[in-house]
Amino acid sequence: MLRLVIQRLLALVPLLFIVSVLTFSFTSLLPADPADLIVGQQGTPEQYAAVRERLGLNDPIVTRYVHWVDRALHGDLGTSFFNSVKVTDAVMQRLPVTVSLTVVAALIAIIVGLAAGIAAALKPRSLVDRFATLGATFGQAVPNFWFGLLLAAIFAVGLHWFPATGFTPITQSPWGWLRSVTLPAFALGLASSAAIARQVRSSMVGVLQQDYIRAARAQGLSRRRVIFKHALKNALVPVAAVLSFQITVLLGGALIVEQVFAINGLGTLAITAVRRQDIPMIQGLVLVMVGLVVIVQLATDLIYGYLNPKARPS
């Protein structure tokens, strides 16, 4: 397992390098001149020149990139052009919000997806299977933000079971957190649970036809044990890859679903930054997102290695 972790970590180095170059050079393509934005209409040419010097805009692009990476490695992602807030602070303040929404949505997607996929696979072409397949097809066609609106209309505005807007940190009140995160997480998780259910169904149907399943049954192991131990572990191998991709999708979807429930997470930060062309903020957000995705990929790689002995380095 340790070898797998090291192998995976080494593979991340070129990825992170390319992402940082992409992020840096793309945001350097922004049409706005940062110094112009900061100084504003009333600024004098002297002030303008001073800001350019302070931001290092007169340096060659490679020097700027190296400085930016160096500071980023020390946890400093720069300062917003608009309100002199540290990017790192702004991002870190909202990160728990978006991450907790994504994690709960992922849990819902995994539980619902597994249950529906397995139930459908056990009786192919049965009523359960048709219902699950239909549900999965619908689930992938429903926009998460619209589903969120419907959930809010029914369970918050109509029934008052959950708050319609806002987010309570888990540190402040675990119960309040659960109430505030439930509706957005269901809205976000629907499409992913559909995708997972489809994958679970198809790989489970394939695995159940394998010789080793019949052999385990011939050995007198119970149906339940054969399905949930012998078949499931094999069926989850392709699901791990889908899961890794789906969590990335969930993280992106969270940015939009946050808007429905007026949750002040990374989504609002990103949208405001784009509207204001706030370069350091956009760069910082992208890097943090990639960092999260990389952690998820690392985790799913380890799960993959656990599920599939052939994938382990020997």
Partner 1 sequence: MSVQSETPRRTASPASRARRGSFYVVTVPSIAVLLTLVVLAFGAGWINPYDPLKQDLIHAMQGPSAAHWLGTDDLGRDVLSRLIVGCRIAVIAAAEATSIAMILGVPLGLYIGYRGGWWDWVVMRIVEAIMSIPGIMVAIVIIAILGLGLHRAMIALGILFSTSFLRLARGVVLTEREEIYVRSARVIGASDSRILLRHIFPNIAPPLIVQTTLTVGAVLLAEAGLSFIGLGVQPPDASWGTMLNTAASYMELDWFLAIPPGIAIVLTVLSVNLLGDTLRDTIGRGITVGVNPAIPVARFDAAESNAEAGPRSAPRRDDVLCVESLQVVVSTAGGEVPVVTDLSFSVGRGETLGLVGESGSGKTITGLAILGLIGTAGRSTHGAITLNGRELRGVGQKQMEAIRGNEVAMVFQDPTTSLNPAFTVGDQIAEVLRTKKGMSRQEAWARTIELIDRVGIPRPAERAKAYPHELSGGMAQRIAIARALSCNPSLLIADEPTTALDVTVQQEILDLFRDLQEEFGMAILFVTHDLAVAADVCDRIAVMYAGEIIEVAPVGDLFARPLHPYTAGLLSASPHEAGRNPPLPTIRGSVPRPGSWPAGCRFSDRCAYTQAQCEMRIPLAETGQRMVRCTRAAELNLRADK
Range 264-283, binding partner 1 (CB under 8 A) = 267, 270-271, 273-275, 277, 282
Q: Is residue 290 within the footprint of partner 1 (CB under 8 A)?
A: yes
Choosing from 2, 13, 14, 73, the residue that interacts with partner 1 (CB under 8 A) is 14
Distance in Å, CB of 53 to partner 1, minimum: 25
Q: Select 63 or 137, whichever has its Cβ closest to partner 1.
A: 137
The span from the CA of 36 to the CA of 47, in Å, is: 10
Q: Which is nearer to partner 1, 137 or 173 (CB)?
A: 137
Q: How far is the CB of 157 from partner 1 (least distance, A)?
A: 5
Query: What CA–CA distance (Å, rounded) separates 159 from 175?
Result: 18
Q: How many CA atoms lie within 13 A of 181 on its CB side?
A: 25
At 52, is the secondary structure helix, strand, or coil? helix
Sole binder of partner 1 in the list 4, 115, 149, 302 (CB under 8 A): 149
Report in angstroms how near the CB of residue 66 gets to partner 1 at its nearest.
Answer: 19
Phi-psi region of 160 (alpha: psi -120 to 50; beta: other; left: phi over 0): left
Q: Which residue type occupies 194?
A: A
DSSP state for residue 57 in the 8-state scheme: T
Q: How far is the CB of 50 from partner 1 (least distance, A)?
A: 26
Site for partner 1 contains 157 (CB under 8 A): yes
Considering the complex, what minimum distance in angstroms separates the CB of residue 49 from partner 1? 25
CB-nearer residue toward partner 1: 119 or 289:
289
With contacts defined by CB under 8 A, how many residues of the chain interact with partner 1? 74
In 3D space, the residue among 121, 133, 127 whose CA is nearest the CA of residue 201 turns out to be 121
Report in angstroms how near the CB of residue 117 gets to partner 1 at its nearest: 16
Q: Is 69 in the site for partner 1 (CB under 8 A)?
A: no
Between residues 66 and 138, which has the closer beta carbon with respect to partner 1? Answer: 138
Residue type present at position 183: L
Separation between Cα atoms, residue 101 and residue 95, nearest integer Å: 10
Residue 82 binds partner 1, judged by CB under 8 A: no
State which of positions 17-56 bind partner 1 (CB under 8 A): 18-19, 22-23, 26-27, 29-31
Find, among 251, 253, 255, the residue nearest to 272 by Cα.
255
Q: Is 248 exposed, middle or buried (0-12, 13-18, 19+ CB in 10 A)?
A: middle
Write out the binding residues for partner 1, residues 191-230 only, by CB under 8 A.
209-212, 214-223, 225, 230
Distance spanning both ends of the chain, measured CA to CA? 10
Name the β-bridge partners of 86: 79
Q: Is 249 in the site for partner 1 (CB under 8 A)?
A: yes
* Pairwise CA distance, residues 305 & 292, whole Å: 20
